[in-house]
């Protein structure tokens, strides 16, 4: 079956998500169109596949970029061209791809369209200003909602979202597949140390885009108010995004913000030099974030929300804590020692090999594309 993957977005983990899927599905019948920036370049993450992949550069000029988001002329022309020349049977929009919402009918004329649902319900978010809120609402939220409503074939990596859509979207075909690892070859072999961390190691790490639903403020406040750990260990908050919470600069002597895009070549160093990594999310739907500490054998601590319960074995692969008792995270970190750390590392890596299985991922997606009724009806 000739399939075309469209990846027109690249922020906050979408690139490694899409790259792992495309690399897993790669064969002579796999085609792809990828929109790139200088920092988020699919060319570096994808395994070569002859002439089957087309790379488009996102405009560097802000105004041109906004025009692209409103009407992606070059992207649409490229999709038409690839579909017609190669007799594409399936178009799979992998990366939210909100700019294609108003052109969904056009895509449906070319092939059967599948849409990956990342966030069925949008997360808690504090916006930097009214303009940010307006752009996010008009260019992302409304158009993603439209794509979910109007696409016949929906795909998700979240068991909760899968079951919800199966129960509520009775006229749609809904498919589930396991979350792909975010650990690409570039991340595995990266050898760049973030300049902000020269000579610093054994820190507590938060990694990811800074957003309210990820509970960064909970970790920050717990750390700066814990006298035991704050005096002898650093907290590193690594990732771009609006710092939405009030900071206490007088207590930040051991807090390091790397508030920028983290290049893939920096991720290995960021994790392997950490004492542990913490994810104090207050909500979540689907993410492969745990694949990174699992692969690099870094102890991970997660909040006890349902989302993480799907992804860990508590006290075996990760440690959980109650966000309702925010200081419990520091208690768990302070109690980490060799007797708990070494088993966590070994168990997490073994779990990684079990759940991030490329053969299973390929089978699940291949089954979805042929539209097996049995697959659609099974609850997870």
Q: Where in the chain are the domains?
A: 3-180+357-377, 185-355
User: Tell me: domain 185-355, CATH 1.10.530.10, correct?
Assistant: no
Note the pLDDT of residue 84: 97
H-type alpha helices, 237-281: 264-272
**For residues 268 and 191, what is the distance between their CA atoms, to the nearest angstrom?**
7
Greatest distance between any 2 Cα atoms in the chain: 65
At 66, phi and psi to the nearest 5? -65, -40
**For residues 310 and 22, what is the distance between their CA atoms, to the nearest angstrom?**
24
Give the other-Cβ count within 10 Å of 57's Cβ: 11
Sign of CA dihedral 96, 11, 269, 223: negative
Give the other-Cβ count within 10 Å of 379's Cβ: 9
Whether this prediction's pTM lies above 0.75 is answered by: yes
- Dump strand ranges (E) for the chain: 3-7, 30-36, 53-57, 90-93, 112-116, 153-156, 173-176, 203-207, 235-238, 255-258, 274-279, 300-303, 319-321
Long-range contact pairs involving 187-191 (C-beta distance under 8 Å, separation at least 24) = 187/16, 187/264, 187/265, 187/267, 187/268, 187/292, 188/268, 188/295, 189/268, 190/264, 190/265, 190/266, 190/267, 190/268, 190/269, 191/265, 191/268, 191/269
Find the length of the chain.
380
CB 57 within 8 A of CB 37: yes
The position carrying tokens 């949008």 is 122
Quote the Cα angle for 21-25-28, to 5°.
140
User: In sequence order, what are the beta bridge partners of 3?
Assistant: 30, 90
Q: DSSP letter at 230?
A: H
CB 223 within 8 A of CB 332: no
Give Cα separations from 216 to 205, 268, 377 (angstroms).
11, 21, 38
Instruction: Give the residues of the chain that fall short of pLDDT 50.
Output: 372-380
**For residues 174 and 302, what is the distance between their CA atoms, to the nearest angstrom?**
29
Cα-Cα-Cα-Cα torsion 5, 65, 259, 182, nearest 10 degrees, comes to 0
Check for a shared fold between 3-180+357-377 and 185-355.
yes
H-type alpha helices, 137-263: 142-150, 159-168, 185-189, 216-224, 227-230
In CATH, the architecture of 3-180+357-377 is 3-Layer(aba) Sandwich (3.40)
Joined together, the tokens standing for residue 327 give 């200081």
């Amino acid at each position: 079956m000739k399939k075309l993957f469209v990846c027109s977005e690249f922020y906050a983990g979408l690139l490694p998500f899409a790259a792992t899927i495309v690399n897993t599905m790669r064969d002579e019948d796999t085609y792809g169109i990828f929109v790139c920036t200088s920092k988020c370049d699919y060319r570096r993450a994808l395994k070569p596949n002859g002439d089957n992949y087309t790379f488009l550069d996102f405009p560097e000029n802000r105004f041109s970029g906004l025009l692209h988001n409103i009407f992606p002329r070059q992207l649409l022309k490229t999709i038409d061209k690839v579909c017609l020349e190669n007799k594409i049977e399936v178009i799979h929009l992998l990366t939210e791809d909100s700019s294609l919402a108003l052109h969904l009918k056009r895509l449906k004329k070319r092939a059967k369209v599948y849409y990956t649902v990342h966030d069925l319900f949008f997360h808690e978010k504090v916006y930097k200003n009214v303009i940010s809120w307006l752009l996010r609402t008009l260019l992302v939220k409304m158009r993603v909602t439209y794509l979910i409503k109007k696409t016949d074939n929906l795909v998700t990596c979240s068991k909760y979202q899968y079951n919800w859509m199966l129960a509520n979207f009775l006229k749609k075909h809904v498919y589930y597949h396991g979350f792909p690892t975010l650990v690409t070859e570039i991340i595995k072999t990266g050898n760049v140390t973030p300049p902000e961390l020269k000579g610093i190691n054994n820190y507590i790490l938060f990694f990811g885009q800074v957003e309210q639903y990820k509970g960064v403020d909970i970790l920050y406040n717990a750390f700066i108010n814990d006298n035991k750990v704050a005096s002898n260990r650093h907290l590193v908050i690594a990732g771009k995004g609006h710092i939405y919470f009030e900071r206490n600069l007088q207590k930040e002597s051991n807090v390091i913000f790397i508030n920028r895009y983290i290049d893939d070549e920096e991720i290995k160093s960021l994790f392997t030099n950490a004492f542990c990594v913490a994810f104090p999310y207050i909500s979540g739907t689907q993410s492969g974030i745990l694949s990174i500490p699992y692969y690099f054998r870094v102890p991970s601590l997660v909040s006890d929300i349902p989302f993480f319960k799907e992804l860990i074995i508590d006290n075996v692969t990760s440690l959980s804590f109650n966000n309702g008792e925010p200081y419990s995270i520091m208690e768990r970190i302070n109690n980490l020692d060799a007797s708990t750390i070494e088993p966590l590392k070994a168990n997490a890596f073994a779990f990684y090999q079990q759940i991030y299985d490329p053969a299973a991922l390929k089978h699940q997606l291949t089954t979805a594309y042929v539209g097996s009724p049995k697959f659609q009806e099974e609850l997870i």
